[in-house]
């Protein structure tokens, strides 16, 4: 049954994702992944023929998970605010996701296939932010002189690294400052 197949695959991806978050790609062992799921390590190869295949699936999963922070809100300002809040919420609820994402981004630099996945998501995110900003300008929320591309890039850069190399206190401060710069606070 395909559904069962996909269930198993999904469970394996989840297990691998958590292992990567805990120990990095460096510490990813197929046997451990299989153990976490209660599967024989050889059976894992039925679902993912090679380690690389599993890693790719994890990267895809992680980027998609992140992309699902769909904001709600009527106005662009509300949307952006909601977007940032959802991300902050995710940071607290599932910090593993951000660690795994950063692992993926570093690996993307050496692994062309992963690079494609990661870049695609980055582009989509950038476009999404640009659209919100443009709409906001149209509606008079932000000045017309705003360099939307640059602001989008700055938002992404800032969010990317929070939660990594920064204490959660500093992370919160940085996000707060971002909101101030974007004039989202009131």
For residue 60, the minimal CB distance to its own copies (Å) is 15
**Which does residue 96 bind out of DNA, its own copies, none, counting CB within 5 to 8 angstroms by kind?**
none
Smaller CB separation from its own copies, 50 or 177: 177
**Which does residue 65 bind out of DNA, its own copies, none, counting CB within 5 to 8 angstroms by kind?**
none
Residue appearing with tokens 């009131």 = 186
Of the residues 99, 114, 132, 133, which one makes contact with its own copies according to CB under 8 A:
99
Helix segments in the chain, DSSP class H = 2-23, 30-37, 41-47, 51-67, 76-93, 95-108, 112-138, 148-161, 168-181
The pair phi, psi for residue 162, each rounded to 5°, is -60, 155
Closest CA to 123 of 158, 80, 146, 156: 156
Give the CB-side neighbour count of residue 169, counting CA atoms within 13 A.
Answer: 0
Of the residues 45, 81, 85, 172, which one makes contact with DNA according to CB under 7 A:
45
Residue appearing with tokens 């198993």 = 8
> Are the C-beta atoms of 33 and 54 separated by less than 8 Å?
yes
Q: What is the largest CA-CA distance in the chain?
A: 59
Choose the stretch contacting its own copies; rule: CB under 8 A; options: 6-14, 74-82, 86-94, 150-158. Answer: 150-158
For residue 171, the minimal CB distance to DNA (Å) is 31
Q: Is 90 a residue that touches its own copies (CB under 8 A)?
A: no
Q: Is 170 a residue that touches DNA (CB under 7 A)?
A: no
Smaller CB separation from its own copies, 44 or 155: 155
- Where does this chain bind DNA (CB under 7 A)? 1, 4-5, 8, 28-31, 39-43, 45-47, 49-52
């Amino acid at each position: 049954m395909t559904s069962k197949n996909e269930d198993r695959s999904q469970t394996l991806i989840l297990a691998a994702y958590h292992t990567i978050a805990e120990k990095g790609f460096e510490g990813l062992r197929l046997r451990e992944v299989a153990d976490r799921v209660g599967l024989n390590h050889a059976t894992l190869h039925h679902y993912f023929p090679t380690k690389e295949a599993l890693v790719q699936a994890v990267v895809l999963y992680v980027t998609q998970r992140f992309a699902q922070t769909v904001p709600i809100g009527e106005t662009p300002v509300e949307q952006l605010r909601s977007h940032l809040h959802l991300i902050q919420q995710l940071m607290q609820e599932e910090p593993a996701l951000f660690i795994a994402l950063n692992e993926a981004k570093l690996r993307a630099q050496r692994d062309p296939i992963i690079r494609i996945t990661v870049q695609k998501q980055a582009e989509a995110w950038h476009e999404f932010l640009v659209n919100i900003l443009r709409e906001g300008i149209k509606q008079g929320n932000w000045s017309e002189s705003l360099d939307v591309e640059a602001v989008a890039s700055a938002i992404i850069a800032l969010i990317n690294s929070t939660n990594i190399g920064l204490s959660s206190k500093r992370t919160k401060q940085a996000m707060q400052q971002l909101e101030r710069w974007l004039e989202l606070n009131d």
